[in-house]
Structure 1
């Protein structure tokens, strides 16, 4: 990744306006990079480190696409989309997760993600697809199913090595910690996150290309009706691939331009990352005014009295 020798650029600010009066302010940092790791635009510090959280899921899915698991267990793109998902626990989504386990001859009791509050099964957890994918790889490779979520399990080492290979760094340099669902997540610089999404969008890897196709062809599996990722991918007809992460992380890849975008809202606010994404996508010309308006209706206007507005611009390098 290209290193900047300049001080950090100004951050973006997301203002919550109540009848036009600023009530709250969130700060955000943004990086746009290409698939060679060159930083093309920035707001804030591109070397800010944060856990990538669920925005890592398309790359954790490489364990599924690179090992022959899809062919071995006759899985399809809809199954792969749910592996990449942070879904809403709807019946159709939970059934898709179950389909992966059923075809892989794995009991749902092996899922180590928690049962969500008010739900009946771990299948309804928003990370259950990712867990099912990891279990399927362990089944195919005869790796231990009971410890699939441990850092030391070969499936987690496989994922770590895949990410390190994409970033051209040793895996030992990547900091890991347990995500809320129990499996490892990685702490990366924003510029590295943007580079990963540029590589995801580049089409230079068959395994990544298959993941993009699954996500863009089945966006409802990736999140759900009304969710930002699903709405964005639906409105852009497969030109953008999008995946949210917790604590203010949002990553997007531009398939036509081999570019990636990473956003971190410093206080972790979900509402602010969506507003920032719309603002940046408009500035970069990645969405049309019509798409921006449709997204704004859903994610900028909170109610009759409150709306979100982003101040500041990316610095194009």
Structure 2
């Protein structure tokens, strides 16, 4: 069994999680694996840094004065904090668009105070509270810049989504025609690829020079620089993505995806990591990512100590007492498989 994490109550294992891990370098070598590194996976929001590439490459970012914090928000699954909502709205305003153009739907934000304030004011949730509003704002700006229909930017056949599909295929080196599309929680297409290709994609994102075209190198560097410069825009307070990038001070890019996916790019070694927890539950994934980093010797000189609360998270009862913990328990297996390059 490919157990990656165990949940303990007192010292007894109460539950466990299966998972899959792929570690790939920027040349496409699968160096380490656990479980099935080729598991077909929807990476969900982990793909947002790649989905942001057309925002830069089309010229939309320059036309609408998208700064680094804005670009980081385009990669975000944010908390819906005031800084996130304000910035998303400012992006839309610069493009002459109203909030109603957002096709991401809405949900209760992670930021509880923002939601409570909304209730106190007698107002209803709107799309800008969605954790995906920054990504959608970037898509809208691209459509406006290219003179395309804004009302249908979220549909698979729209040029906005076709450019993103091309970027996903090219960055992950997986054939475009083999990518299966689904519909993400926010209504835009989501892409299904082997887990290892996501790791390869993040390895390449961590090493922009791995791309042949100068414009792609520039776009990737601009996006990854933005993420590590403004990690609070990628997620927000008390979030692993933000804390991870803060702890590594520019070295690591990391992005969570729904159904317990996580992707990492190490800008120092050129390694990419992709993790999928089989049951889709979120409680074990950050712990597993920390353990992968430890086994690779990444961050053992300090950053992982800063992230200690995620390494062995405590389980508390209704009174706030510690009654158990979650522990990652697996050993990466060495391999040296060269992935086949598609696009």
- TM-score class, shorter: over 0.9
What do residues 252-289 of structure 1 show as CA deviations (whole Å, max 9, x unaligned)? Answer: 00001111000000001211111100111111111125
With normalisation by structure 2, the TM-score equals 0.87
What do residues 58-98 of structure 1 show as CA deviations (whole Å, max 9, x unaligned)? Answer: 00001101111111111101000000000000111101111
What do residues 199-219 of structure 1 show as CA deviations (whole Å, max 9, x unaligned)? Answer: 110122211111100100000
With normalisation by structure 1, the TM-score equals 0.94
Cα-Cα RMSD: 1.3
Aligned runs of 1:297-316 on 2, under 5 Å?
Answer: 297-298=309-310, 300-303=313-316, 304-316=322-334
C-alpha contact (below 8 Å) 1:12/1:43 kept by paired residues: no
Q: 2-side partners of 1:68 and 1:129: how far apart? A: 17
C-alpha contact (below 8 Å) 1:15/1:26 kept by paired residues: yes
Aligned runs of 1:30-49 on 2, under 5 Å?
Answer: 30-49=21-40
1:243 counterpart residue number: 255
C-alpha contact (below 8 Å) 2:255/2:262 kept by paired residues: yes
1:185 counterpart residue number: 190
Which of 86, 104, 112 aligns to 2:95? It is 104
Which of 230, 242, 245 aligns to 1:233? It is 245
Q: 2-side partners of 1:259 and 1:271: how far apart? A: 24
Aligned runs of 1:13-24 on 2, under 5 Å?
Answer: 13-24=4-15
Give the aligned length: 308
- Range moving further from structure 2, 301-310 or 42-51: 301-310
Residue 114 (structure 1) shift? 1.1
Which of 297, 306, 309 aligns to 1:285? It is 297
What do residues 163-214 of structure 1 show as CA deviations (whole Å, max 9, x unaligned)? Answer: 2122344322111110010000100111101001001101222111111001
Matching of residue 76 in structure 1 with residue 67 in structure 2: yes
| Structure 2: gaps spanning 5 or more residues | 109-114, 116-123, 210-216, 317-321, 336-343
